[in-house]
Structure formats: C-alpha cells, structure tokens
Amino acid sequence: MAEGELFDTGDDTKKPGHDAGGHRSRLRARLIAGGEDALADHEVIEYLLMTAIPRRDVKPLARTLVERFGGLAGVLNADARTLANHPGMGETSAAAMKIVAVAARRMARAAVKEQPVLGSWQALIDYLTIAMAHLKVEQVRVLFLDIRNRLIADEVQGEGSLDEAAIHPREVIRRALDLGAGAIILVHNHPSGSPEPSRADIQITNRIAEAGRLLGVIVHDHVIIGTQGHVSLKAKGLI
C-alpha cells in the first residue's frame, strides 16, 4: 500500500482551518523543552511519521498504530512487514519506526558491554526487555561472560518452547568453552506476557547448570522476560 494512502494528497499546510505547520512546531517545542515525558505515545509515533510523510496530517495514523499494537513499544517492536502493510503506512514509514527500535537496542547493549554484567543488572534487564519483551515467539538466548563477568557474546540459541529441542545443555557449555567464557546467563521470553517460570524452565536450567559445573562454567542466572516484567530464577532460589 502506498505511503499515506488514507490521506488526501494535497498539501495539508494549505488547507483552510488546518494548522499542520503550527502543530508540528508545537510538538517539536514540547519535545525539546520537556524531554522524554513531554509527548504521549501517539505523539511520539506521530513525530516519527512526520519525517517519513512530511506533508500529511499523520495524527490519525499514529493513533491507529497505537490502538492496534498496544502502545509505543508495541509499535516500535512490531514486524516490519506488518507495519508496512498497515493502512496508511508503507516501507518508508515502517523503516522510520524500525530505525528507532534498532537504535534503542544498540544503546542498551552498549550500556551492558561497558561494565561487568552482574554490577549493572538494571542495564541488563533494560536491554533484554527492549530486545525480547514484545517478541511474538519464544526465543532462547545465552549471554556468555568472561572471568570478569563482562559480556563476550549474546547469542540466540533457538526459538520455541524452552526444552532440549531448543537448547541442549552440552551444546551450550561447549559453546561457552569455545568462546573462553567462564560463566553464562540464560535468557528467554514468554510471549504470553507473564514471566513466571514453568517446570520445564526450571528443569532445563538445572541440567545446564549441572553440565557447567562439570566443566567449570558457572550459570549465574536464568532470566525470563515478559511484557509484565521479568523473573530471575536465581533470585527465586530455583537454581
């Protein structure tokens, strides 16, 4: 579908009674003066759309995106093709959304890499939440740490329910040894939103921890991410 298909093709700034230029100036002024809380979710989306559709009233489109995807995070983390096919969108507008998500992930990941992971736990949770909370499928990843608990690698191990079909204990530990990692943190998401661990989550974690103990690789934690928050199996005393 073409960019801005839902909207009139004329110049909105010239329509009687329509003050698109003034509205955009006011949004810009509020953003600069007020910082991150100055704009509502739909206004942030609107501002991003203004860069992709510069001569249209994009407020209605911004509102439909927020309604469909459930908020700012939902829009920014939506599948690119799904965004592009949304009425009134297109590839250019979808790219305007996705580049913000990419930038947010890279900034969060950089914050994690700058210092030992265990000493910057909130930065780690922020990064994992940005990267995984809104995924529509269950994803399993492993954070490999050096002897100073700095991040060596963050690798996706598979998708699907957390069992040995998605992540095999011996393969995880073998990969840690290949990377020279002294410790790992297991991570996966729950698309349902609730981060509460299942029995299978606990069982596979303990099997990986046992395999690690035999070869000198510590499993520091298993973190489950959901839109409703996160759970640390270590904090719950489950590993």
Per-residue CA distances from 224 to 85, 140, 230 (Å): 31, 10, 5
Residue-range domains of the chain with CATH? 19-105 (no CATH), 117-232 (3.40.140.10)
Q: Among 209, 227, 229, which residue's Cα sits nearest to residue 217?
A: 209
pLDDT digits (tens, 9 = 90+) for 32-66: 887 777 888 889 999 899 888 887 889 999 999 99
Per-residue pLDDT tens for 87-144?
A: 999 999 999 999 998 998 888 888 787 778 888 899 999 989 988 888 888 999 999 9
- Residues 69, 70, 75, 76, Cα dihedral to 10°: -140
The percent of residues above 90 in pLDDT, for the chain, comes to: 49
Orientation angle between helical segments 41-52 and 59-69, nearest 10 degrees: 120
Which pLDDT does position 161 carry in this prediction?
65
The number of angstroms, rounded, from the C-alpha of 37 to the middle of its chain's C-alpha atoms is 20
Using DSSP's 3-state secondary structure scheme, residue 9 falls into coil
Say if strands 151-159 and 139-145 run parallel, antiparallel, or are unpaired. Answer: antiparallel
pLDDT at 14 over 50: no
Average confidence (pLDDT) over 200-229? 94
Please give the C-alpha separations between residue 154 and each of 40, 41, 103, 143, 144, in angstroms, as whole numbers: 33, 30, 17, 5, 6
Residues 172-212 pLDDT 10s:
999 999 999 999 999 999 998 899 999 989 999 999 999 99
Dihedral over Cα of 83, 89, 90, 92: its sign: negative
Non-local (6+) Cβ contacts of 41 within 8 A are: 66, 71, 72
80-96 pLDDT per residue, tens: 999 999 999 999 999 99
